Amino acid sequence: MDQEQPEIDFMEVVPNTLGELFGGDRSFIIPWFQRAYAWEPPRAAALLSDLIAHAERQGPRRRYHLGTIKLANGGASTVWPNASRPASIVDGHQRIVTFTILFAVLRDLDLVEGMSRRLAAMIELPSVNSGEATSSPPVHFRLNPQPAVSSLFAELVQKPAATREPLDHGFDPLSVSERNIIENRDYFRLQLSSEDWTPERRTALADYLIASCQVVCETWQDEDEAWRYFQLDEETQLPFDEASKIKSGLLEVFPGTERYEANLLWQELEKLLGQADVFALLGHIRTLKLRRRSEAPLEQDLIRAFQLDRNGLGFLKDDVLPQAYRLEAIRRHAIAGRPVPEPVRSALIHLDWINPNVWVPAALHWIEMRGVDDPEHTAFFARLEALVWCMRIAGTDPRTAENRIIRLLAEIEAGTSVAAMQEFEIDKKTIASALENLRSPNFRDKHFAVSVLRRLSVIWGADPGPVDGSRVTIEHILPQNVPKRAPWLKIIGSKNKARKHINRLGNLTFLSEADNQRAGTLPWNDKRQIFKRSAFVLSQRAAEEEEWSVKVIERRTDELIAALFAAWGIPV
């Protein structure tokens, strides 16, 4: 009789604090075929805001749960003595990258003594003693990203003091992953270096991240097996469709006698708005009802707040349909289906460009309270546009932006005049953050860059339309790749100096694809002739410059910012 072989554990499941996850000799590698780093600033901002709220909550400290990550255990290293081979990240690399960025930003800011070293130890592996005396032993980082982004990640995130460095190293053009890494890094640094963040407060946040933020870590012994299970999990899950999920969740609790008519009304809603906007509208209706942010599932809040088990049909007829007609008109840049003054229409268009949803509860409630022909419509939507754009450019986190809109609802409810609405008063910190982002050396790579250039074009009377890569493209006036011995180098000084200004707001304009190709790296006098003939107002105005230099780029940046803020009535 054969002896039974002992079963080998193929997976270990252990809860880890971030201090434990990023501790000891553990390191990670992101496989080259793994998905891009896709967290954009709004998502990173929401995470930071939530972490701060939990870290500074009164009472006993609570753990912050960050879900599950899947790792494939690398085993003993064949490269680094006395260390483990990096564990392959199967699922969770978005969070691991984001927290590495956050640790690095905190490390490079002023902290209470000792915390910088603790954070550095979560980014770098402990020094390996090979028996040879060296003045500067090689640094090995805990996280090894895909080769395509590893150089940028090391230079601008992982190395000591790296997050203090602006993007002037010539990483151009940026991939989606690189752009998100830099934008999130810059956002974290901007928020955590503001005057209300003392070293003691930053240290307390860092300690909370290390000791109280927790993940469930699944570590697999066999990487192929880990990927097989991950793929199986992906394939056997039902497709996630928020609109369909909430429809079934709500109609399920309606009284049985109401479901047939309710289903017909729902079809009317989807025909009017589309599935995505129906889902968004239900979120706006929750906000209008609760007048607070909620972390609960949307369907649960609606079922409880509107007692849908007893009055489902009434909810659709009395609460949802009227707001649906208002939202449909807003999406057409109108009010209640009627033409509106051009300033109101323009404000609605521009609000859609920068953020399609955060401002909608305020717009819906304003129209519901004031009706179609209120004389303050123009003032209200102009100030709403200014507020929403300023918050977006400043990098205001979604929690703060939503809470501000909720407070604005109370002023609308009270009948406050637009001029007296306090929530429209944009604070100095928000303005300063917006100005810093607009003056950023890597402005071109910010997610709102195209919208800003388009809004500036409108100020001077000509909307170019969306940037489609053919009819409308973004042109770098000082070229991205300056040839050796080109006239540009005599003007700018060096390629390194040029890189610091290529992506600034003042160096950008619009051209058609054909003109963009023609302009290329031509000297300024030749480019200028193309700009003069261009249909785009930004290029026509740039062509008024006799020369193109660093001073011109800096001056034009300030002029464009001044024009933008003047259009919103914000002094700078």
Overall average pLDDT of the 434-450 stretch: 92
Is residue 116 in a domain? Answer: yes
Q: Give the whole-angstrom CA distance, residue 286 versus residue 295.
A: 12
Residue pair 477/509 in contact by the 8 Å Cβ criterion: yes
Q: Does residue 276 share a domain with residue 185?
A: no
Is residue 483 in a domain? Answer: yes
Overall average pLDDT of the 492-516 stretch: 88
Residue 122's domain comprises: 11-130+137-236
| pLDDT tens digits, one per residue of 506-534 | 999 999 999 999 999 899 999 999 999 99
The DSSP output letter for 84 is B
What's the full length of the chain, in residues?
572
Q: Does residue 126 share a domain with residue 272?
A: no
Asked whether the predicted pLDDT for residue 132 surpasses 70, the reply is no
Number of domains in the chain: 3
Overall average pLDDT of the 195-202 stretch: 92
Q: What is the pLDDT of residue 3?
A: 53
Greater model confidence, 453 or 125: 453
Q: Does residue 208 share a domain with residue 76?
A: yes
Asked whether the predicted pLDDT for residue 342 surpasses 70, the reply is yes
Greater model confidence, 298 or 77: 298
Is residue 424 in a domain? Answer: no
Cα of first residue to Cα of last residue in the chain, in angstroms, is 87
Q: Does residue 149 share a domain with residue 291?
A: no
Q: Does residue 559 share a domain with residue 466?
A: yes
Residue pair 348/392 in contact by the 8 Å Cβ criterion: no
Beta bridge partners of 338: 335
Overall average pLDDT of the 381-390 stretch: 98
Is residue 360 in a domain? Answer: no
Question: What's 402-468 look like in SS3?
Answer: HHHHHHHHHHHHCCCCHHHCHHHCCCHHHHHHHHHHHCCCCHHHCCCHHHHHHHHHHHCCCCCCCCC
Write down which residue in 220, 236, 252 finishes a domain: 236
Is residue 297 in a domain? Answer: yes
Q: What is the pLDDT of residue 74?
A: 57
Residue pair 31/146 in contact by the 8 Å Cβ criterion: yes
